């Protein structure tokens, strides 16, 4: 897909900020909990980071997370459709793009039918609230599996390792609100 004029992809923005601040891959891995290989894939644009990973990365880089979400704010619908298949069947759209320097972030998330976001689970300081707009999902928090249908919600400690999976036959649409101190 052609890049829109003046828009720097998230991966390049992360890499440039990391290099500008002289933060090594080892430090990024230790601070975010992501492997160096995953960080390299994110920086190269080969893997789309989850919302939780973006929050961890922005905290490690000492930047406001809105700096990383800006690309999506500019090209939201086009990017969501284009990234769905090449980002582990998962797309998210910031719902409050102008909420700079805020601890509360809201997203609309779409997970393809029968799919989950790639990776080994998310974990980030704070709290998370999920509301299912459409579809069926399982959200595993620690060892506990929560089964949610349209209209259901879940509030949990996002410091506990968690993962999301669409268990339905249609795309699942969710509103996710993340509080990160």
Question: Is it the case that residue 79 has pLDDT exceeding 90?
Answer: no
Domains of the chain: 10-179 (2.60.120.10)
Question: Is it the case that residue 6 has pLDDT exceeding 60?
Answer: no
CA separation for the pair 161, 175 (Å, rounded): 19
pLDDT-based confidence at residue 2 (cuts at 50, 70, 90): very low
Sheet holding 162-166, edge to edge: 144-148, 137-141, 162-166
- pTM score: 0.60
Average pLDDT over residues 21-26: 92
């Amino acid at each position: 897909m052609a890049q829109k004029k003046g828009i720097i992809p998230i991966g390049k923005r992360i890499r440039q900020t990391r290099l500008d601040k002289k933060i090594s891959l080892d430090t990024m891995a230790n601070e975010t909990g992501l492997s160096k290989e995953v960080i390299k894939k994110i920086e190269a644009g080969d893997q789309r980071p989850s919302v939780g990973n973006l929050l961890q990365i922005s905290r490690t880089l000492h930047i406001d997370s809105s700096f990383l979400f800006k690309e999506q704010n500019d090209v939201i619908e086009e990017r969501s459709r284009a990234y769905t298949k090449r980002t582990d069947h998962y797309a998210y759209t910031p719902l409050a793009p102008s909420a700079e320097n805020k601890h509360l972030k809201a997203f609309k998330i779409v997970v393809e039918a029968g799919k989950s976001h790639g990776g080994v689970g998310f974990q980030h300081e704070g709290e998370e609230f999920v509301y299912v707009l459409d579809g069926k999902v399982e959200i595993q928090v620690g060892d506990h599996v929560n089964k949610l249908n349209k209209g259901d919600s879940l509030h949990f400690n996002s410091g506990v390792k968690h993962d999301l999976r669409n268990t339905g036959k249609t795309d699942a649409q969710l509103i996710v609100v993340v509080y990160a101190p």
